Amino acid sequence: MLVCGALAVSAQTKVTLNTDLAKTQISKHIYGHFAEHLGKCIYGGMYVGEGNTKIPNTAGVRNDVIQALRDLKVPNLRWPGGCFADAYQWKDGIGPKANRPKMVNIWWGGVTEDNSFGTHDFLDMCERIGAEPYLAGNVGSGTVKDLADWVTYVNHPAGSPMSELRKKNGREMPWNVKLWGVGNEAWGCGGNMTAEYYSNIYRQYATFMSDHKDAKLYKIASGASDGQYDWTETLMKNIPHHMMQGVALHHYSVLSWGDKGPSVSFSEAQYFKTMDEAWKMDEFIKGHSTIMDKYDPAKKVALIVDEWGGWYNVEEGTNPGFLYQQNTMRDAMIAGLTLNIFNNHADRVKGANLAQIVNVLQAVILTNEEKMLLTPTYHVMKMYNVHQDAKLIPIDIEAPSYEFNGKKLTAVSVSASKDAQNAVNISLTNIDYSKAHEVTINLRGEDFSKVSGQILASSKISDHNTFDQPNKVSIKDFSGAKLEKGVLKLTLPAYSVVVLKVIK
């Protein structure tokens, strides 16, 4: 180990990029997001109401949020839950707002849901953001007919009772929603079902979710949590694969389901445990993929990680049911590492949704009345969006460890892709709490001539953006990568994310 001033530099990370073998597409849907009727995600965070004169909005949706999400290139947005999805009655969220029935949000704080943000509001908002909607259907407490009607309402062009109702409510053309979840966490808040029972229910609900003219449905089964491999195995065995385009997986980086620890003033022990949980995403994807390979060697059914992210105790003084937490450089590490894992499993992982988009869990945006800020996680997702729909470059990597109390984690993670212009984008995340790491990237003789880059780094791991200091953590240009004879060399500071672009 070299020590230069306060900066300890550890053993080398050696990466080889097999650019000539780039073949598998990294689906842009790996970069998806999730918006639930939970705390201030929808109400206050995204939707402030049509009559709001204080916060500039379009049809009630904050203009600042729309712009930030357009800039982020959000490929898809999952809604309305989460646990809320299996309690949601979509027909209560259409038609004149004054007439919409109210309900109690039993999962999140017991607050009254007035249904003022419903199907039209969500799907129109997705159009403004440029994101594909991903609707999570109610299987836990709704009927087969309710879900079949929802599909027809949003997708059938004309001439059916549901399409006529949609038109009466102001929308002539269907939205052609392709992405559908058939329930959520069916083993838990979605109905406490067994895998066998859910498989049968899935077959029944999915049968009546029909394709319409321009919308061939992509149906996603409610999947396992973490290493619940028997769930995946039962679904893969019992559900005909032509009825199921994806199986979900949820994994949160949480210290424990009791005390989840603080979002900002965490110790190194808590940081290490969070990183350990983040790395487990790789183990879970491998485990579930192995089972899927057994039943589906051609990889026709995708693994969709439609909930992931860091989960901590709520901020002091906030409603415990609202899951509001700050977002620091630790969250940037979870994001950089997890997105590298997803990219490197692009053959099976075809979609993922960070939980959640605004004001809830590992949010990319926080709001406070008319103020808005972008979190470190937002910046990582923005830096990484160069990988969307690009070709994955297989890599070989030898990386040093980040050690704490005798335990070890791989410190540096890397993924790379080739875009439509043949530029190579390489994302690197160093989760080490205190050491910088030198990295050598061998481009295997390819004659690249120019490298440019961006970095997200900050002086403290707990650094975050506040409404008074919204740009404390922000993306900077990075000129520290040197390209010589087909080899790139750089030093990654402790807890930093770097994305490099190499061109010929």
Write out the catalytic residue numbers: 185, 307
Place of tokens 């997105």: 339
User: 51 or 258, CB closer to ligand AHR?
Assistant: 258
- Whose Cβ is closer to ligand AHR: residue 38's or residue 329's? 38
Looking at the Cβ atoms of 121 and 185, the one nearer to ligand AHR is 185
Instruction: Verify binding: residue 81, ligand AHR, rule CB under 6 A.
Output: yes
Interface with ligand AHR, residue 253, by CB under 6 A? no
Is residue 185 involved in binding ligand AHR (CB under 6 A)? yes
Q: Closest approach of Cβ 377 to ligand AHR, in Å?
A: 15
Minimum CB–partner distance for residue 440 and ligand AHR (Å): 39
Please report which residue ranges of 130-267 form alpha helices under DSSP H. Answer: 144-155, 161-168, 195-207, 229-238
CA distances from 451 to 442, 478, 488, 499 (A): 13, 10, 9, 10
* Pairwise CA distance, residues 493 & 463, whole Å: 15
113 binds ligand AHR per the rule CB under 6 A: no
Q: Which two tokens stand for residue 94?
A: 């259409």
Out of 60, 80, 82, 181, point to the residue binding ligand AHR (CB under 6 A). 82
Point out which span in 65-73, 78-86, 198-206, 397-405 binds ligand AHR (CB under 6 A).
78-86
Binding mask 373-412 for ligand AHR (x = CB under 6 A): ----------------------------------------
Give the residue among 425, 428, 352, 435 at the shortest CA–CA distance from 392. 425
Min CB(414)–ligand AHR separation in Å: 29
In the complex with ligand AHR, the residue whose CB is nearer, 314 or 386, is 314
Tell me the H-state helices in 140-218. 144-155, 161-168, 195-207
Assess contact for 183 and 198: CB atoms under 8 A: yes
Enumerate residues 6+ apart whose C-beta is below 8 A from 468.
none
The yes or no reply on residue 416 touching ligand AHR (CB under 6 A) is no
Q: Which of 83, 186, 494, 499 binds ligand AHR (CB under 6 A)?
A: 83
Window of 65-73, 80-88, 192-200, 213-221 that interacts with ligand AHR by CB under 6 A? 80-88
Secondary structure of 6-35 in HEC code, one letter for each residue: CEEEEEEEEEEECHHHCCCECCHHHHEEEC
Q: Is 320 buried (19+), middle (13-18) or exposed (0-12) by CB count in 10 A?
A: exposed
Q: Does 277 bind ligand AHR (CB under 6 A)?
A: no
Binding ligand AHR (rule: CB under 6 A), the pick from 87, 281, 355, 481 is: 355
Minimum CB distance to ligand AHR smaller for 175 or for 322: 322
Q: What is the DSSP letter of 47?
A: B
Among 184, 263, 340, 410, binds ligand AHR (CB under 6 A): 184
Any residues with CB less than 8 A from the CB of 184 and at least 6 apart, and which?
Answer: 81, 82, 83, 85, 86, 136, 140, 190, 222, 248
**Is 185 or 282 the residue whose CB approaches ligand AHR more closely?**
185
Nearest partner of 167 among 153, 181, 186, judged by Cα: 153
CB of 361 to ligand AHR, least distance (A): 6
DSSP state for residue 426 in the 8-state scheme:
E
Among 24, 32, 36, 463, binds ligand AHR (CB under 6 A): 36
Stretch that binds ligand AHR, among 75-83, 152-160, 253-261, 482-490 (CB under 6 A): 75-83
**Rounded-to-integer distance, Cα 492 and Cα 337, Å:** 14
The reply to whether 282 sits near ligand AHR by the rule CB under 6 A is no
Residues ≥6 apart with Cβ < 8 Å to 470: 371, 373, 374
Give the shortest CB-318-to-ligand AHR separation in angstroms.
15
**Of 419, 413, 388, residue with least CA distance to 502:** 419
Tell me the two tokens of residue 146. 């309710």
Instruction: State the nearest-atom distance from the C-beta of 225 to ligand AHR, in Å.
Output: 8
3-state secondary structure of 433: coil
Helix (H, G, I), strand (E, B) or coil at 147: helix
Closest separation in Å from C-beta 67 to ligand AHR: 25
**Cα separation of 205 and 148, whole Å?**
8
- Of 76-84, 165-173, 191-199, 451-459, the window that binds ligand AHR (rule: CB under 6 A) is 76-84
Minimum gap (Å) between residue 313 Cβ and ligand AHR: 14
Closest approach of ligand AHR to the CB of residue 334, in Å: 15
Which listed range, 81-89, 155-163, 288-296, 436-444, lies at the site for ligand AHR (CB under 6 A)? 81-89
Q: Least CB distance from residue 184 to ligand AHR, whole Å?
A: 5
- Which is closer to ligand AHR, CB of 149 or CB of 307? 307
Binds ligand AHR (CB under 6 A): choice among 124, 132, 307, 432: 307
How many residues form the binding site for ligand AHR (CB under 6 A)? Answer: 10
Q: Which is nearer to ligand AHR, 334 or 426 (CB)?
A: 334
Beta-carbon count within 10 A of 240 CB: 8
- Name the β-bridge partners of 187: none
Write out the binding residues for ligand AHR, residues 115-174 only, by CB under 6 A: none
The three-state secondary structure class of 439 is: strand
**Cβ closest to ligand AHR, residue 201 vs residue 323:** 323
Q: How far apart are CA 38 and CA 107, in angstroms?
A: 8
Contact footprint for ligand AHR (CB under 6 A):
36, 81-83, 184-185, 307, 355-356, 361
